[in-house]
Amino acid sequence: MGFIIKEALTAKEIKDFVKFPHKLYRDCKQYVPVIDSDEFNMLTKSPSLDYCKIRMWMAIDDKGKIAGRIAAILNPRSNEYHNEKRVRFGWFDFIDNREVAAALLSKAEEWGKEEGMEEIHGPLGYNTLNRQGMLTEGFENTPPINCLYNYPYYNTIMNQLGYGKQMDWVQIKLRANEGVPEKIKRINLMLLEKYNLRVLDIKELKGCDKYVDRFFKSYNEGFSEIANFVPLTRKEVEKLAKEYFPRLKEELTCVIVDKNDNIAAFGICVPNLSAAFQRAGGRLFPFGVFHILRGFRRYNTIDLMLLGASSEWQNKGISSIYHTHIASNLERGEIRYAITNPQAENNSSYKVWERYGYEPYMRRRCYIKSL
């Protein structure tokens, strides 16, 4: 098969870049399309572009059809934070053709070398809240909307092209409506009293800027030791707070504050909207927004989106408080399952799920290669 590599520069080319996976995964029932307009804005208007540089390429076959795509990202804040010289790759999708994948990766590698980078790794976005990690197990399952899906042949080709494992993330599926033993509830009440903590009313979180600032300060501190983590900037925080905080559901949210009203720990869950996004097909209008709003009201599965604690409160057992708080809200309710966000396989907090009935759901990999 003949093909050329073309950089996506114009608005039309970037829109074609965004829509390519819809065609590649047309017959895949597990694929969850993102909203095209959101993806276009992510690639062109994200506040992360204040410090990141991004370039995008597509493979075009001899019939004028797209055969693959890739984005390369230079993130100087990440490289400084981790003392590395790495270029990231993301938005990487391709037909089952090794030459296409190799040519796309070569473009990202060449640009990385030109910019003085020593390694390339991915799939990653600008920061930890973007979709990341190539699926290596759980292909039969449908991912949450903030997670990637890919065909199994991706990994075969990555290994053939000399890319090795940097790290894996795991996701599990939990039974969410079985409640919490009374003994655990009593222990958590004692923890609240012992450390002089309280559960923040969600109205306070939504209505007070100081809690938004303190929440993301806690987030930046709590995940600081995670591989590939990048602290969020002020503009990134403002955008996320504006988009997501007004939609938080009381029964799915638990934020714990200390005696000085600083955020000690947090558990934020959201309705699983994968089926709604599949029905939307990448478009909000004319019917996509209806499917998404309906999915936000009627659901039986939730995604455990953000779970963590600020640095000074880690390893003190208080994560049990938000687990218990949310699990108690869901006891004997219509919500049957919960799917965790990807967690680093070496993260000791993963063991907290052993008290629940759970099963493996997905495994993801970040690949790396020397340039």
Q: According to the model, what pLDDT value does residue 349 have?
A: 61
Average pLDDT estimate for 91-116:
98
Give the pLDDT of residue 331.
80
The residue with tokens 């790495």 is: 86
Please give the model's pTM, rounded to 2 decimal places: 0.93
Residue 355: per-residue pLDDT: 65
Question: For the segment 107-136, what is each residue's pLDDT rounded down to a tens digit?
Answer: 999 999 999 999 999 999 999 889 999 999
Q: Please name the CATH architecture into which domain 3-168 falls.
A: 3-Layer(aba) Sandwich (3.40)
Question: pLDDT tier at 356 (50, 70, 90 boundaries)?
Answer: low
* pLDDT value at residue 317: 82
pLDDT band at 351 (very low <50, low <70, confident <90, very high): low
CATH 3.80.30.20 holds for 174-370: no
For the ranges 56-70, 230-244, 350-364, the lowest mean pLDDT is seen at 350-364
With a cut of 80, say whether residue 179 has pLDDT above it. no
Tell whether omega for the bond before 342 is within 30 degrees of 0, i.e. cis.
Answer: no
Q: Can you give the residue ranges of every domain in the chain?
A: 3-168, 174-370
The whole-number pLDDT of residue 167 equals 95
pLDDT for position 324: 86
Is the Cα dihedral 40, 44, 50, 52 positive or negative? Answer: positive
Over the stretch 30-72, which tens digit does the pLDDT of each residue have? 999 999 999 999 999 999 999 999 999 999 999 999 999 999 9
pLDDT > 90? residue 199? yes
What's the alpha-carbon Rg for the chain, to the nearest Å?
21
**Contacts of range 82-85, beta carbons closer than 8 Å, 24 or more positions apart:** 82/228, 84/118, 84/119, 85/116, 85/117, 85/118, 85/119
Two domains, one topology: 3-168 and 174-370: yes
Distance between CA atoms of 306 and 216, rounded to whole angstroms? Answer: 11
